[in-house]
Amino acid sequence: MTEGFWFSALIGVGIAGLYSLAALFLGRIAVGSSQRAFMMLVLGGMVARIFVTLILLTLILLLTSLDSTALLAGFFIVFTIGLTAETIILHRQQSNIQKNSKDDSQKD
């Protein structure tokens, strides 16, 4: 495996890492919002992130001589890990908010 292979994989990891960070950032904002705003931020943000990521990956694959297999493998490995982490974190935060609001209503 050459330097180009590892560099390509690192580029893929970086793109997926930025995707995941953006997802967690929007998720953090969405958790404090109403249910409608939560869905708009999470789903709208996901569509925007996927659109930008696909354009970026396509441009990189078409305009550079990077190893496409390494680039996509690095991307999809980190993308899968990030997507799993995003789902778990959002679920836990949403559960905590529902639990806290239920506790508050019982105190009244």
Domain boundaries, the chain: 3-107
Say which amino acid occupies 73: A
Cβ pair 26, 89 in contact under 8 A: no
pLDDT for residue 36: 87
| Residues contacting residue 37 through CB under 8 Å, at least 6 positions apart | 30
Say which amino acid occupies 56: L
pLDDT for residue 94: 72
From first to last of its 108 residues, the chain has per-residue pLDDT tens of: 677 899 999 999 999 999 999 998 988 888 778 888 888 888 899 999 999 999 999 999 999 999 999 999 999 999 999 999 988 988 887 777 666 666 666 665
Distance between CA atoms of 93 and 108, rounded to whole angstroms?
23
